[in-house]
Amino acid sequence: MRFFSKRFRVWNTGSSRQLLRQLYAAPLAVLALFVFLLGILSIVYGALRLAWAFKGGGLGTAILGILTIALGILLLVNPYAGAVVLPWIYGVFFIIGGIAALVWGIRMRSE
């Protein structure tokens, strides 16, 4: 037992609240970091879509670029609220993207 008492001093503190704080703080920090990185990536991806729209991508690409930049800013402002809403937002984006891909495929086939 002496080996464990020297190595893992957190168990010897006697404070279960301190241990619970440590266990709950780490996942929230990782979640906030993940949402923060997704916010940065969303801003970069939205800027790329916007640039592509200005080169002739069309109005739909510009609108999606602006919405993606807005999503990235919202994720950076409040990462915890963004973590709750993030699956719904990306789900809507994927559904819209899938419908647009189907329409584009049908248009290409008819030409």
In a domain, 45, yes or no: yes
Separation CA 82–CA 61 (nearest Å): 23
In a domain, 46, yes or no: yes
Q: Model pTM?
A: 0.63
In a domain, 55, yes or no: yes
From the list 10, 27, 28, 29, the residue with the least C-alpha distance to 19 is 10
In a domain, 15, yes or no: no
What is the number of domains present in the chain? 1
In a domain, 48, yes or no: yes
In a domain, 44, yes or no: yes
Residue 61 Cα distances to 49, 92, 99, angstroms: 6, 15, 14
In a domain, 7, yes or no: no
Task: Please give the residue range of the domain that contains residue 70.
Answer: 28-110
In a domain, 22, yes or no: no
Per-residue pLDDT of the chain (111 residues; tens, 9 = 90+): 444 455 455 555 556 666 666 666 677 777 888 888 999 999 999 999 999 999 987 888 888 899 889 989 988 998 888 888 888 888 888 898 899 889 888 988 877
